């Protein structure tokens, strides 16, 4: 589900850039920033790189069981709601720094105008996803420094977003319990 969500956003941004800037090149890619050996993981230059930097469980309360039919209950694991933190980094050559700032600005403007993705406004959205809500994350200088140190990369112009409510549900009933259909109040004595 994470891959599907990030691929959807990548395709949406690429379509946006192609339309607004009249370019044919795919500018937005999914990639880590650094390989395990410390080398740059990004293929090519002059790209916007989408990188997953964290995920968290949504803490909303939910009921542990839900009705399966009118007279039975299924004991099913509670669907897991995940929020993901995604970094959009501008990996541009050093003589193209101005372009990197321009593309980060485009991303901010795009998500300001469209911060909720649904099946009705996003045709290429995976059918298993109901909705993605995007919000910018404010980071202190210390937090920013820690993030880039954790990633093992040198700072690039970037913006961090929280994507709310990826829904994980195996949709398999683990236990079936028949519901009560009638109550027999008659005592049986012999």
Q: Is residue 67 part of a domain?
A: no
pLDDT of 148-188, one tens digit each? Answer: 999 999 999 999 999 987 666 555 344 555 555 566 566 55
Total count of domains within the chain: 1
Q: What is the mean pLDDT of the chain?
A: 84
Q: Is residue 13 part of a domain?
A: yes
Q: Is residue 24 part of a domain?
A: yes
Is residue 46 within 8 Å of 29, Cβ to Cβ?
A: no
Sheet of strand 116-118, all strands in order from the earlier edge strand to the far edge: 28-30, 47-57, 80-91, 158-168, 131-136, 116-118
pLDDT of 30-39, one tens digit each? Answer: 999 998 888 8
Confidence (pTM):
0.78
Structural domain containing residue 13: 1-59+79-168
Q: Is residue 174 part of a domain?
A: no
DSSP 152: T
Q: Is residue 118 part of a domain?
A: yes
């Amino acid at each position: 589900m994470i891959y599907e969500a990030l691929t959807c956003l990548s395709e949406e941004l690429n379509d946006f850039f192609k339309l607004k800037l009249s370019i044919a090149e795919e500018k937005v890619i999914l990639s880590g920033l650094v390989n395990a050996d410390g080398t740059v993981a990004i293929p090519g230059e002059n790209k916007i790189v989408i990188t997953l930097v964290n995920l968290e469980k949504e803490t909303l309360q939910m009921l542990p069981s839900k009705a399966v039919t009118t007279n039975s209950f299924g004991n099913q694991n509670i669907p897991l709601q995940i929020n993901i933190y995604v970094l959009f980094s501008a990996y541009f050559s050093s003589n193209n720094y101005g372009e990197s700032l321009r593309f980060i600005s485009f991303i901010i403007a795009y998500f300001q105008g469209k911060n909720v993705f649904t099946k009705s406004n996003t045709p290429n959205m995976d059918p298993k996803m109901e909705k993605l809500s995007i919000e910018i994350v404010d980071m202190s200088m210390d937090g920013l420094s820690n993030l880039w140190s954790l990633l093992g990369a040198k700072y690039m112009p970037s913006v961090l977003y929280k994507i709310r409510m990826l829904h994980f549900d195996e949709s398999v009933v683990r236990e079936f319990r028949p519901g009560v259909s009638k109550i027999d109040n008659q005592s049986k004595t012999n």
